Structure 1
């Protein structure tokens, strides 16, 4: 079985772990699902997900549990990072421009965490075209999260 790249998993884990405490809570999962899909999970769906992911039944998900879950249940071709990027790419052209970014912030700002917003803002400051590609998003996120420690 092919496994996910550990750096990509750390990045994805960091995007879920909005308070950077090294654990993903049910609330953090629920917020990210709502942000990316626009769909709210029921308590039953959330409990079913936690039953699969929370191996030690502690009530939250560690990086180790996250890695096991991702490698066991999620195909390597679909990490979810593209979905997060697509949340901002409203016209589906492969770029997030400032206008799209500002529209998403206006409509979903309360569902996003400041780190996700900061990744785009830093790229916009560097990019003269004011358009962010998926690759720039990944590079920016990797840069933002490279110093985070995992339990």
Structure 2
């Protein structure tokens, strides 16, 4: 069995609090808050279940849950590809980081002329490790802000 399938089964079992082979909207909401810190409303949980519930019983079986997770993973991978393309526009060629100079250069291309000090200040807001540049991980966080 593929590692992903085993992991999906493990996650399904954790979300299926009453071990009935189905995940209700309430179970989904509770587990998302506990496992991910993601507090979704009852309505959002119902919508999420409804969007993946192919048999119309108002619950997610393991297959429906797995398909939902796979779609979420594909969406996240697509989002990361798009972010990487944007990141590459701003980074210093081949360095894998956005420097004040590379930010200034790209902003100039976009018609916004900033002083290097202003670019340093922009970077400082999202420079989590304090190295004076923006890594791809920091860029992702910045784009979510």
Higher percent of residues as strand: 1
Settle same-fold status: TM greater than 0.5: no
Question: If the length of structure 2 is used for normalisation, what is the TM-score?
Answer: 0.45
Q: Which has the larger radius of gyration?
A: 2
Higher percent of residues as helix: 2
Question: If the length of structure 1 is used for normalisation, what is the TM-score?
Answer: 0.43
